[in-house]
Amino acid sequence: MKKGIWALIAIILVLALILGIKIIKTEKKDYTPEKIKKKILSAYDYTNYTYEYIQNGQKTTKKVRGNIIVTENDSTYSWIDGEAMSKVTIDKEKNTYLMTKLNASTKDLLYKKDFIDIKSLLNKYGNDLIYLGDENYKGRNCLKIRAGENTEYLIDEETGFVLKYEPSDGTVAEFNIEINNVTEDDVKLPDLSKYERVS
């Protein structure tokens, strides 16, 4: 009799545990438009990271360390010092470089720590941001967000960086992010003597 009671208790405990796990898994997070914006903008708190942008098989890499932003793809290398307000652009194919002094307006235009200017997009969408649920993407837990009518984003829940977006035109852009991996050598201005200066 006692064995039967203990077996019944064990079954009840197992069922309660399974039900509890199910409830935890199906619990939906409460992400209002303001919380979504706050999460995305938290990415701007990072000052050391590598951000890769992949579209149509083409990759562009952005390395950020402090005030220095280096953006590079197969044909172009861009180095910007946000504190010194200067930019150097190297054309790898022509072996030329252009040196530019930034002012307040050109800095706002060129000094971008991401690829898609998410701050401007958030202003455009206003409160038209809807949390659709969580999704695992490249091993990272992401928030799936619909912005406007047809654009969807996957936002890395840990860092706030956009890892994927699908606009209404059907194109897909994918991103990779690594935090605290950029050294001083990674963002050092290259030797410009190998290139011809253009104005």
Instruction: Provide the mean pLDDT of the chain.
Output: 86
In a domain, residue 48? The reply is yes
In a domain, residue 10? The reply is no
In a domain, residue 26? The reply is no
Domain range for 89 is: 33-198
Instruction: Decide which of 177 and 8 is more confident.
Output: 177
Instruction: Decide which of 122 and 10 is more confident.
Output: 122
Give me the CATH number covering residue 148. Answer: 2.50.20.10
In a domain, residue 6? The reply is no
In a domain, residue 7? The reply is no
Closest Cα to residue 89, out of 105, 100, 81?
Answer: 100
In a domain, residue 24? The reply is no
In a domain, residue 60? The reply is yes
pLDDT confidence of residue 9: 59
- In the block, tokens 């852009």 appear at 173
Alpha helices in 54-174 (DSSP H): 104-110, 118-125
pLDDT confidence of residue 169: 84
pLDDT confidence of residue 22: 45
Residue pLDDT, tens place only, 14-70: 555 555 544 444 455 788 999 999 999 999 899 999 999 988 778 999 999 999 999
pLDDT confidence of residue 24: 41
Total domains, the chain: 1
Alpha helices in the chain (DSSP H): 2-26, 33-41, 104-110, 118-125
Q: Which range has the top average pLDDT, 5-9, 18-22, 37-41, 116-120?
A: 37-41
In a domain, residue 52? The reply is yes
Is residue 86 within 8 Å of 101, Cβ to Cβ? yes
Whether residue 101 is predicted with pLDDT greater than 70 in this model: the reply is yes
